[in-house]
Structure formats: C-alpha cells, structure tokens
Structure 1
Amino acid sequence: MARQLPPQTPSDDAPKGDPWHAFGYVVSGVALYGLAGWALDRWLGTTFLVAIGILVGAGFGIYMTYARFNKASQ
C-alpha cells in the first residue's frame, strides 16, 4: 500500500500570481479606455481623447494588477 504524503507548502520564492492576469488587466484597460476615447473623439470631433483614454486605461490596468498581486501576497 502506498503511503500518502502531506501536501507540500509552496516555497517563498514561488510567484504569488499569474503573470497573464497582469498582462490581461493592462491590455484590457488600454483597449477599453482607448476605444472609449476613440468614440468620444469621433463624437466630439477632437483628436486627443484617444491618447488620454489609452494612458488612463494603462494606469487603471497597472493599478488593478497591483491590487490583485498585493492581495495575493498577503
């Protein structure tokens, strides 16, 4: 009969989150807010809101990544 071993605890040097989640948050933030900025540019007849939307989306994506990874490490 095989002896059952207790589950091993992960070591401290193992990553605490999935890097694809971080990539997904940043890309989806850029895409969503960039699209919103593009739509507002078309509606208002301006040319700068798409750039602002991309920057805001990247900022929100980085913030969401930080919040998720900070929560996972606690």
Structure 2
Amino acid sequence: MDRNAGQRTPSAARTENTGSEDGMGVLSYVLAGLIFYGGIGWLLSRWLHQTWMIPVGMVVGLAASVYLIVKRYGSGDPVSSSNEEDK
C-alpha cells in the first residue's frame, strides 16, 4: 500500500480558487473600502465639522471596492479566439 496515496496536495499546489475563497476576497474588499474611506470621511468630518463627509467617504470606498473587485475577478477575455473564428 502506498502511504502517500490518501494525502491531499498542499494549498500552494492548487492553481484555482474555490468559490468560497473568491467570496471571502470580495467581502474583504468591500469591508476594507467601506471602513478605510468611511474612516477618512469620519476624520474629515470631525476636523471640518461637516457631517456629510462620512456617507460620502463610504460611497467612495464602496465605488473603489467595486472597481478593484471587477479589475481582479473580472474576466479579461469572455469569448475565446476559436469562437470568433467560427462566426
């Protein structure tokens, strides 16, 4: 019997992410954007005595998060070159 037959490969050897890893990555981008830019908005609102800066900072953080999510997880080539040649 082979001892190594039942062992799993290490996570570094895997090339594709599972769905839960992608989901946690997306969630972390969204939360980090909201917290970081919301925090900047909170600091500016305390310093300048303007309460509208907190929601603006959170919206900017959400927009930046969505941009980074699309840039990282978005598909660069949705149609393969072989499908274009068949048309």
Give the alignment's TM-score, normalised by structure 2.
0.62
Q: CA deviation at 1:70?
A: 1.8
Name the CA distance, whole Å, in 2 between partners of 1:72 and 1:28. 24
Q: CA deviation at 1:72?
A: 7.8
Structure 1 residue runs of 4+, over 3 Å off?
A: 71-74
Tell me the amino acid that sits aligned with residue 22 of structure 1: V
Matched position secondary structure for 2:50: coil
Tell me the amino acid that sits aligned with residue 69 of structure 1: Y
Gaps of 5+ in 2: 3-15, 79-87
Q: CA deviation at 1:31?
A: 0.3
Give 2:52's match in structure 1, choosing from 48, 64, 74: 48
Partner of 2:39: 35
**Residues 19 and 73 of structure 1: is their aligned pair in 2 closer, same or farther, counting only changes over 3 Å?**
farther
Give the alignment's TM-score, normalised by structure 1.
0.72
Aligned residues: 64
Tell me the amino acid that sits aligned with residue 31 of structure 1: I
Partner of 1:58: 62
Give 1:26's match in structure 2, choosing from 16, 21, 30: 30
Partner of 1:7: none
**Structure with larger Rg:** 2
Gaps of 5+ in 1: 3-9
CA RMSD for the aligned pairs? Answer: 2.9
